[in-house]
Amino acid sequence: MNSRRDFLQKLGVSALALHLAPVSGWANSKNNNDVAYDGPVLRVAIMGLGGYGTRVAEAMQSCTKAKLVGVISGTPSKIKDWQSKYGIPEKNCYNYENFENIKNNPDIDAVYVITPNALHHDHVLRVAKTGKHVICEKPMSVNAKQGQEMVDACKKANVKLLVGYRMHFEPKTLEVIRMRKAGEFGKILFFQGQCGFKIGDPTQWRLNKQLSGGGSIMDIGIYAINGSRYMTGEDPVWVTAVETKTDPVKFKEGVDETVQFEFGFPSGAVASCLSTYNMSNLDRFFLNGEKGFAEMLPSTGYGPIKGRTNKGELTQPVTVHQTVQMDEMAGIILEGKQPVVPVDGNEAVKDLKIIDAIYLAAKTGKKTEINY
């Protein structure tokens, strides 16, 4: 495991403890710690019991509106462990060959796909056919064409498709968005997003294009891409990009190591971003406007997120991102709740169009238009 994730792993424990403190108003206003919640609960099966699936499962233990009730896994020993740890009944356990049978299971409402990036397309299409709602990890797929097919398939099957954009529910991030919308930074001029970590094990799927669909951009640069959109409130219309590679053995053809990219937005604002698998301690957003600024450091790790603006430190509560995300997504799916920043498939297709354009710009060396 790389050092960034080691670090985040350690932080996750204290963040989980912090979530137990009252956070009413952010997580779930009905759950103010002394009033029992008796509303609808989203019953979720997790597909892919790996590092992140494990984190989501643990965080879901503190959810009010979402409950882990099932698993889909290719590893029988993990299924057994999860069954005993989370009390999952045998009838809610599936593998990749038989999970279509979930359509006959009235005790599961949604499947959360947390498998390697390039498998999301197939997995989401197959879940949609079962009539269950889908939550899919980022990147939703490995290109915009596949992403659009996933959106269309879920629409056709009349199921919701949400993407694991946990930062869209993070309190300090939401405060910066509120301030920007209220005009407190004035006209937005510039965004800077720096996202990266030093990746370890060269044999992992993240460094195998067949499973990852790319390199750092797909995995970690997507935070700067998506962040540039929710921080500025605009979608970029052009990109320039430069890729650098110090280790062509570890980072093979199609697996980017470091990419620097610039965006232009319709208002004239610009962004400058860095995505890398070769630098530690890189997790920073900076937003600059005519009247003020916001800096988030760290900006997208598991927390605690820290930030300040020209008006001072951001003091919103620390939350466990995945707990809040799953409660909020239950509200979206079951009650039609509208998030401040969208987390649906269309939102993800925009990021995938930008990723397609970044790779094209890096390859051609040309300023590339992005059409939505």
Residues engaged in binding ligand NDP (CB under 6 A):
48-53, 73-75, 78, 114-117, 119, 137-138, 164, 166, 205, 211, 219
Which one, 219 or 328, has the nearer CB to ligand NDP? 219
Cα distance between residue 150 and residue 346, in whole Å: 10
Residue 179 or 199 having the CB closest to ligand NDP: 199
Q: Which of 65, 132, 138, 172 is catalytic?
A: 138
Minimum separation from the CB atom of position 5 to ligand NDP (A) = 8
DSSP string, 158-183: T--EEE--GGGG-HHHHHHHHHHHTT
Residue nearer to ligand NDP on the CB measure, 203 or 246 = 203
Q: Min. distance of Cβ 62 from ligand NDP in angstroms? A: 17
Cα–Cα distance for residue pair 161/14, rounded to 1 Å: 31
Decide if 372 is catalytic: no
CB of 52 to ligand NDP, least distance (A): 3
Strand partners, 264: 238, 270
Q: Which is nearer to ligand NDP, 25 or 51 (CB)?
A: 51
Closest CA to 108 of 80, 88, 136: 88
- Token code pair at residue 254: 């199609």
Tokens (6 digits) for 341: 């920043």
The least distance separating ligand NDP from the CB of residue 316, rounded to whole angstroms, comes to 19
What is the 8-class DSSP label of residue 131? T
- Count CB atoms within 10 A of the CB of residue 19: 21
User: Closest separation between CB of residue 272 and ligand NDP, Å?
Assistant: 23
Residues 6 or more apart whose Cβ sits within 8 Å of residue 117 = 137, 139, 141, 142, 211, 212, 213, 218, 219
- Nearer to ligand NDP among residue 111 and residue 188 (C-beta): 111
Q: In whole angstroms, how close is the CB of 15 to ligand NDP at the nearest point?
A: 13
Q: How far apart are the C-alpha atoms of 320 and 334, rounded to whole Å? A: 21
Residue whose CB is less far from ligand NDP, 283 or 356: 283
The per-residue b/e assignment along 169-192, b for 16 or more CB within 10 angstroms, e otherwise, is bbbbbbbbbebbeeebbeebbebb
Identify whether 165 is a catalytic site residue: no
Find the Cα–Cα–Cα–Cα dihedral 251, 254, 256, 259, rounded to 10°: 150
Residue facing ligand NDP at closest CB distance: 50
Q: Which residues are catalytic?
A: 138, 223
